[in-house]
Structure 1
């Protein structure tokens, strides 16, 4: 699997917003930031501008809109206001604006996509797209939308075969041009499971790496993404993720793994329940 197009984004969900972390990111070649209108209690954009206004031009910034203090809402007027406020608080236009978990408000999905396309054409972002934790509710609905530039989805070894297949279907149905990944370790890279599972199985042999680095590499292939958002408040962990993005994944192993996942899911679906005994 090609690694030339792989890049790490510093994900700011539950990540400390510090100048030291942003400076460290740039030192290690991480020039993508991923945040959201609601991160840091709706203060992420203001905080970034306050602590690192001079650094932000060096980053490509993606943000998300859809959550408000009173909950999830994709009403056009609220989305427009959120995108405008995001640019104002960042003191620059974000490069990408994503609909945040549109599966939570499927009925408003089509109009919300139209709003983000409108925002792009108005110059309030360069590209637009979707950030979805689980696209299956979207796939159950009848819709036709403008072609999004990007979709951001869960990636890595914790993602189920049903979710991987749903992502493939979403990309095809919405004609999405680029796929990004997030949450490669399901939010906890320190979980002991990552020291138990031999993640290097997914790599082309002969590469020396840590379990975290191999896990990052595998996440770029499950599903196949070009950018992976990694949340950490430690520069050394971010540097390790960057090293992982440069490893070469064995595509045959990934294909076999996905086939095994499907087989296991099929067997589980056909297994008799306790009530059948």
Structure 2
């Protein structure tokens, strides 16, 4: 069974989750040091088995064997709902393929908590895990911007580390513009909980002056109603296609709109067929 645990405040765990941890034959956990604090707080004495990104695949055969023998195993991550940017996916897939029953006990989740506090449109939203680094991060953001120009309109949600937050905010400004609405949730459910809201420029300036600490959830609002990105891209491509091949038009326009060439090429190909 997958058991959601608190994202900060230890009181944020359900009675059902605590009963499941007590009754399990063993608790699979991302970090035994973290989970030990939780179970000791509630007087739970149970066997802990570390299962994380580096050993999950190797442990799967023995864990599946235990499940086939009728044992009940509870799976927790360091905080929040297991598998969501945490280990466990490979084990769950293996259990399902083996015909074993898997259940999930709902509870805390940092992405959902931040979304409800952000003041940004909650539906639709996309959770995207942790952003990449360096040029890969910029390319990822540019791809998302291109998707917006093709019709995507959703609040985007990431987890981020404190020491990378400012650089990530700067890259978001470069790709989406300084005026885009954003929010950053920090230390959610804990004593020093903070939710910073405003434009990307305002949020970035706040954290340049106040070094971020703790667990971070980053949110970017959808494009505003008057966003003309999609129309601007199509107009530029239409003009370029009058005198250039699809490939050359895509190369020319990609440099103008700061989007990946392959994304612009796909759109140019669609327009040329029309």
Q: TM-score, with normalisation over the residues of structure 1?
A: 0.32
Greater RCO between the two (CA within 8 Å, min separation 6)? 1
Q: TM-score, with normalisation over the residues of structure 2?
A: 0.32
Pair member with larger Rg: 2
